[in-house]
Chains A and B, each alone.
Chain A
Amino acid sequence: MRRAAPLHPILVHFTIALTATALAFDLLGRVLHAPGLAVAGWWTLAFSAAATVPTVATGVVSRLGVDIGEGEARAYLRLHMALGPVFFGMLVAMTVWRAVLWTAGREVGWWYLAALGLTAATMAVQGYLGGELVYRWGAAVEGRHRDLRQRHASDTPPRPRRDTRPEPAHPAPGGA
């Protein structure tokens, strides 16, 4: 089952590209009042929602193989895990909304575009977190992932606290 893990970085491209393209089609379609672009917008979004099902599923599966200690990298991972289904839920809701507009033959409104923009923004955050996990923390990168804890420690070099107090006025007693 963990063999499926490398599929996640492949599948995210479909989600990202299709959602972003759907936003672009609908935005242009609205600005240019081009019905062809609107049709493209609907289908792209529908495909995006469909493609995101395996994206989320492989994402969960790839988590099973990542050995990662408590720390900042883990916090990225947790947020990435929490945000995934939220983004998917937004995407499904947007698809239903788009379908309602499409079946009614209506042009998309600005509210719709704003909501789709928000969805795409969530996706961007999600993609950023995923990118950081791999490129910065080396999660699931063969040969590197064992070092996560040390990398974390060395990333935050020891920083002594600033002491604003004067040193003791008298010399240290009992010197050798």
Chain B
Amino acid sequence: MGDRMTRVADARERTLTAPGIDGERVPMRDRSREEVDFCIVGAGAGGGTLGAKLAEAGFSVVIIDAGPHWDPTRDFVSDEAASHPLFWTDERISAGEHPIELGSNNSGRGVGGSTVHYSMIAMRAHPDDFRRRTILGEIAGAELRDWPLGYADLEPFYEEVEHDLQVAGPTFYPWGRRRKRYPQREHDLNACAKVLVEGCTKLGIPVAPAPIATLSAPHRGRSPCVYRGFCNYGCTTNAKSSVLVTYVPRAIRAGAEVRPGCMAARIEHDSRGLATGVLYFRADGAELHRQRARNVVVAGYAVETPRLLLGSASAMFPDGMANSSGCVGRCFMVHTGDQVFAKFPERINQYKAPPPGGAITEHFNRTIPGEAFVCGYTIEVVGPHVVDFASRMATSRGLWGASLRREMLDYNYWSGLGIVGEVLPRRDNRVELHHDERDRHGLPIPRVVFGYHGNDQAIVRHAVRQMTSILEAAGGRESWHADRTAHLLGGCRMGHDPHDSVVDADCRSHDVPNLWICDGSVFPTSAAVNPSLTIQAIASRTAARIRELAARRELSPHHGHAAPAARIHPAPRGTA
């Protein structure tokens, strides 16, 4: 790659504009010629949040993202099929004992990342989720590790992110550590959520309103949710607190440049082993561009982050950057996301309102006494739209043609539940570079190898039984089960030991002190809750730690060198 022509992206500084959230264009700094303090790869839950906080702290920031910068008022449509550009559908090879589906269920494309199409469930992990190894000990076939940080470390940042997103949640949430009230009140229930509440009430299972990162009351210029129901295909009303409408505008306002359509190719480093910037392809060209940076943050999620690190291998880092531990790409995890559907005598209209419906039960999110498995799962409401639902009918029940058509006529009478089930980390589950397949830029495509631990499957069996009985208690019939996965996690786990983890608790890589990783790939264990809030809390914490380190002059890795990085200073520049 080195012999290819590289150049600085733009010859002359221009004033850029970016889509605002109300259809207007907002002015944006052009930082392509600068050596910025931070170049962040990926503008999703991790990168977008971190970018906003760093820019507001006075650092110069460029966030590059492979996809487009969506204009929520124009680019999102009420059409499932037309919404496919929202998902990361680049070629990937899925392999292993249980190859997983990659795409609409777990990865997003474009500024805002997966938060543009996520279901907005904003849950905190529980104190025990951070200490799996201590609590459960060694489990054969799994590589459990404690997190290098605990719930108490993240709690203030959970609170901060919940406030920034204006999470609408219940006044009293029955599970987890006692907490402050959510910034906004819970939404009303849709019919699917009423099914969950009714079934759980009949069976004596505690159930509560779900915390959802969607406005239930006006906030600043954004209107509350109108229950349109296309949350998984991009929110046109800005009620959804995706990173696209929350942190990204803040980042731009604070002087960051968000550069869409840039596919990172490799991280460059100097002779001292410090990162110096990122080489990337523009979506429209074959030539490489360079963004110089004093720090590089990789926030590409659990497949693309290891891919970029592995793809940045060099003579100095033959196994890929930050990979002296051999952990990059290892212990890759998903969440089991199995769903059960049942038919009801009355209309449900499962597409209405945000898919989480408004109710949730974490009753089984614990090691259940008397069962042959450890850890647990959360039961949530799901509401797939027509095409999605039909494909599930086809793949799970083997319906096709006339029989599928007949069943789909009753689409409005089906109601479903789904789980977020904990998956144990296994060393063999991994992301690696394919040995000869290349994408359109000539970069090796990732190969994702996955297989369940026996414990994961035992959790799913228990969950399917519970969900079926809940649906039946509420009056549902003809239930069936669709196996599914959601959320990608791990691959660059955090830890104290440089030989056993990729980054430390601050998300700073052990090997390259000015290389950071800030996304779901740093999770050592998966925790049976939706991960986005935890990713964002970690990003906020990382931003706070970077400010602290900068204030103590410990950010610069160039001890004694008169190198550019020494110029990093967190002086506020009056634009917060």
A–B contact with Cβ pairs below 8 Å: the answer is yes
Question: Could you write out 15 A-B pairs with CB less than 8 Å apart?
Answer: A69-B22, A71-B24, A71-B221, A74-B221, A149-B23, A152-B24, A153-B25, A158-B17, A160-B30, A161-B255, A165-B567, A168-B292, A168-B564, A172-B8, A176-B7
How many whole Å from B307's CB to the nearest CB in chain A? 23
Q: B1-30: contact bitstring with A at CB < 8 Å (1 yes, 0 no)?
A: 000011110000001010000111111011
Interface residues of A in 122-176 (CB under 8 A from B): 149, 152-153, 158-161, 163-165, 167-168, 170, 172-176
In the complex, chain A residues whose CB is within 8 Å of the CB of B15:
158, 160
B69 within 8 A of A: no
B573 within 8 A of A: yes
In the complex, chain B residues whose CB is within 8 Å of the CB of A173:
290, 292
Interface residues of B (CB under 8 A from A): 5-8, 15, 17, 22-27, 29-30, 33-35, 60, 221, 255, 290, 292, 564, 567, 573, 575
In the complex, chain B residues whose CB is within 8 Å of the CB of A158:
15, 17, 25-27
B32 nearest CB neighbor, chain A only: A172
Q: State which of B5, B24, B33, B255 has its C-beta within 8 Å of the C-beta of A176.
A: B5
Q: A101-133: contact bitstring with B at CB < 8 Å (1 yes, 0 no)?
A: 000000000000000000000000000000000
How many whole Å from B42's CB to the nearest CB in chain A? 23
User: A-B contact count, CB below 8 Å?
Assistant: 57
How many whole Å from A176's CB to the nearest CB in chain B? 4
From known contacts A158-B17, A176-B7, infer whether A168 and B255 are also in contact, taking CB-CB under 8 Å.
no
B288 nearest CB neighbor, chain A only: A174
- A172 and B6 form a contact (CB under 8 A): no
- A168 and B35 form a contact (CB under 8 A): yes
In the complex, chain B residues whose CB is within 8 Å of the CB of A70:
22-23, 221
- B27 and A153 form a contact (CB under 8 A): no
- B8 and A161 form a contact (CB under 8 A): no
In the bound complex, CA of A149 to CA of B19 (Å)? 13
In the bound complex, CA of A147 to CA of B45 (Å)? 34
How many whole Å from B550's CB to the nearest CB in chain A? 15
Q: A8-45: contact bitstring with B at CB < 8 Å (1 yes, 0 no)?
A: 00000000000000000000000000000000000000
In the complex, chain A residues whose CB is within 8 Å of the CB of B33:
172
In the complex, chain A residues whose CB is within 8 Å of the CB of B292:
168, 172-173
- B7 and A153 form a contact (CB under 8 A): no
- B255 and A153 form a contact (CB under 8 A): no
- B7 and A174 form a contact (CB under 8 A): yes
Q: A35-57: contact bitstring with B at CB < 8 Å (1 yes, 0 no)?
A: 00000000000000000000000
- B5 and A153 form a contact (CB under 8 A): no
In the bound complex, CA of A149 to CA of B26 (Å)? 13
- Do most interface residues of chain B lie in helix, strand or loop, or is the interface mixed? loop
Task: Pick the most buried of A74, A164, A165: most chain B CB atoms within 10 A of its CB.
Answer: A165
In the complex, chain A residues whose CB is within 8 Å of the CB of B573:
161, 163-164
In the bound complex, CA of A174 to CA of B6 (Å)? 6
- B290 and A174 form a contact (CB under 8 A): yes
From known contacts A158-B17, A161-B29, infer whether A71 and B8 are also in contact, taking CB-CB under 8 Å.
no
In the complex, chain B residues whose CB is within 8 Å of the CB of A165:
60, 567
In the bound complex, CA of A39 to CA of B34 (Å)? 75
In the complex, chain A residues whose CB is within 8 Å of the CB of B575:
161
In the bound complex, CA of A20 to CA of B317 (Å)? 81
In the complex, chain A residues whose CB is within 8 Å of the CB of B25:
153, 158
How many whole Å from B174's CB to the nearest CB in chain A? 37
- B27 and A159 form a contact (CB under 8 A): yes
In the bound complex, CA of A158 to CA of B6 (Å)? 30
In the complex, chain A residues whose CB is within 8 Å of the CB of B7:
174-176
In the complex, chain B residues whose CB is within 8 Å of the CB of A174:
6-8, 290
How many whole Å from A163's CB to the nearest CB in chain B? 8
In the complex, chain B residues whose CB is within 8 Å of the CB of A71:
22, 24, 221
In the bound complex, CA of A10 to CA of B8 (Å)? 61
How many whole Å from A172's CB to the nearest CB in chain B? 5
- A69 and B8 form a contact (CB under 8 A): no
How many whole Å from B229's CB to the nearest CB in chain A? 22
In the complex, chain B residues whose CB is within 8 Å of the CB of A69:
22-24
Task: Pick the most buried of A74, A172, A175: most chain B CB atoms within 10 A of its CB.
Answer: A172
In the complex, chain A residues whose CB is within 8 Å of the CB of B221:
70-71, 74
In the complex, chain B residues whose CB is within 8 Å of the CB of A170:
564
In the bound complex, CA of A160 to CA of B13 (Å)? 11
In the complex, chain A residues whose CB is within 8 Å of the CB of B564:
168, 170
In the bound complex, CA of A77 to CA of B510 (Å)? 55
- B35 and A149 form a contact (CB under 8 A): no
How many whole Å from A74's CB to the nearest CB in chain B? 8
Smallest CB-CB A-B distances: 7 pairs: A158-B27, A70-B22, A176-B7, A153-B24, A174-B6, A172-B8, A161-B255
A74 nearest CB neighbor, chain B only: B221
Q: State which of A153, A159, A168 has its C-beta within 8 Å of the C-beta of B34.
A: A168
How many whole Å from B539's CB to the nearest CB in chain A? 23
A152 nearest CB neighbor, chain B only: B24
In the complex, chain B residues whose CB is within 8 Å of the CB of A164:
573
A158 nearest CB neighbor, chain B only: B27
In the bound complex, CA of A165 to CA of B27 (Å)? 20
In the bound complex, CA of A74 to CA of B35 (Å)? 40
In the bound complex, CA of A158 to CA of B28 (Å)? 8
A149 nearest CB neighbor, chain B only: B23
From known contacts A174-B6, A174-B8, infer whether A160 and B24 are also in contact, taking CB-CB under 8 Å.
no
In the bound complex, CA of A71 to CA of B387 (Å)? 36
B31 nearest CB neighbor, chain A only: A163
In the bound complex, CA of A158 to CA of B30 (Å)? 12
In the bound complex, CA of A165 to CA of B23 (Å)? 32
How many whole Å from A63's CB to the nearest CB in chain B? 16
B16 nearest CB neighbor, chain A only: A158
How many whole Å from A24's CB to the nearest CB in chain B? 41
In the bound complex, CA of A70 to CA of B34 (Å)? 34
How many whole Å from B54's CB to the nearest CB in chain A? 15
How many whole Å from A56's CB to the nearest CB in chain B? 23
In the bound complex, CA of A71 to CA of B573 (Å)? 26
In the bound complex, CA of A152 to CA of B23 (Å)? 11
In the complex, chain A residues whose CB is within 8 Å of the CB of B255:
161, 163
In the bound complex, CA of A149 to CA of B23 (Å)? 8
In the complex, chain A residues whose CB is within 8 Å of the CB of B290:
173-174
In the bound complex, CA of A160 to CA of B33 (Å)? 15
A167 nearest CB neighbor, chain B only: B34
B254 nearest CB neighbor, chain A only: A161
